Amino acid sequence: MLGRVISYVAIIVAILMGVMAIAMPLDRLHDYMVVVRFFENMIPALAVGALVKYLCGSCWNND
């Protein structure tokens, strides 16, 4: 249930960010780009962490 709520929240946030990018005037677009660049740099680090957790998950569960 919690995973479903988190998924819905993430979808709503993504849609709102897309609408903001379209509706913002060009002089305010720089503030939005700071948020986008933050996520662009964060996603590869999270992906590597998730890959390591997935690959080592079977090692840690065989106690």
Neighbour tally for 21: CB within 10 Å? 13
Looking from the CA of 6 toward its CB, the CA atoms found within 13 Å total 3
> With the C-alpha atoms ordered 39, 42, 47, 49, is the resulting torsion angle positive or negative?
negative
Give pLDDT tens digits for 35-60: 788 888 888 888 888 888 888 876 66
pTM: 0.50
Give pLDDT tens digits for 14-30: 888 778 777 878 777 78
Sketch the domain layout of the chain as residue ranges: 2-61
- DSSP class of residue 12 equals H
